[in-house]
Structure 1
């Protein structure tokens, strides 16, 4: 892990995100959150959402960064693993992850948080970094807390 990177104040980011998400509209809120995270969290090369729109398949949603892979089956990659297990995936070296999908060859580490609404997987938030080991346990907890804000302040449809 890069020990020289700046400390991110996730408490402050969570308060700012809470103020930013001033509508219940899920498209607006996920778009705002992807842009906010991409701008505020250092050393990312992609931030965005994949949404479950059909059985065991994720479809690309609002994002910031290079064009992305679409669709992603639950059996594929880090996003698929997060969707399948409903557990956050924090991967220090994506090239060592079985079944990794290389949408951007520059990506080296990944953090994927599943979003659960009414006990149903709505989708995942996916963050990529060009640095190996970019995401710490503190980053994971901070991003998970920000995802809770999104779920609480948005009308995320349980069927799309």
Structure 2
């Protein structure tokens, strides 16, 4: 049974605990939708001050909404558009402290003020992106970027 990550211990220990929980949740489960659903729920439960956590999957043309936790979201995002589309096109993590200052930002949830997007890549093939939003400006830092890149790599390996 899943339990949300406790908030005692160091931040690094909490990140390691989440990665271990992710491994347990997806171990031996071949269904991608189930794995993505559990991964988004784990992140939403584990990262305070976030209002959206989930995935957009690349269908060969654009990003399409996948499993997530939060308010309803944009369904399709062209590559190169908004934070998600830019991260996907450039295949690099984007940490945006103020989404309203990001050129071409797509406002799916008006409450979102900062965002981190990590591409899901497997053997140089784009699979999609991990997207997390926060109502707090400058919510995401470099430690979380590294943690979420590790998280995304684990997820990408089972897609």
> What is the TM-score of this pair, normalised by structure 2?
0.89
Alignment RMSD: 1.3
Q: 1:34 aligns with which of 28, 37, 40?
A: 40
Structure 1 residue 50: deviation in Å?
0.4
Please state whether the residue corresponding to 1:54 is helix, strand or coil: coil
* 1:94-128, Cα deviation, whole Å (9 max, x unpaired): 00000000011110000000001221100000000
The aligned runs of 1:10-159 (5 Å cut-off) are: 10-22=15-27, 23-55=29-61, 57-152=62-157, 154=158, 156=159
Greater RCO (CA < 8 Å, at least 6 residues apart): 1
Partners in 2 of 1:106 and 1:147 — Cα distance? 24
List gaps (5 residues or longer) in structure 2. 1-9
Q: Offset at 1:151?
A: 2.2
| Unmatched runs of 5 consecutive residues or more in structure 1 | 1-5
Contact 2:40–2:69, Cα closer than 8 Å, also in 1: yes
Structure 1 runs of 4+ with >2 Å offset: none
Q: Answer yes or no: is the 8 Å Cα contact 2:97–2:138 preserved in 1.
A: yes
8 Å CA contact 2:57–2:66 kept in 1: the answer is yes
How far off is 1:146 after superposition? 1.0
Partner of 1:110, secondary structure, is strand
Query: Which secondary structure does the structure 1 equivalent of 2:43 belong to?
Result: helix
Check whether the contact 2:96–2:115 (CA below 8 A) recurs between aligned residues: yes
In structure 2, distance between residues paired with 1:37 and 1:83: 20
TM-score (normalised: structure 1): 0.89
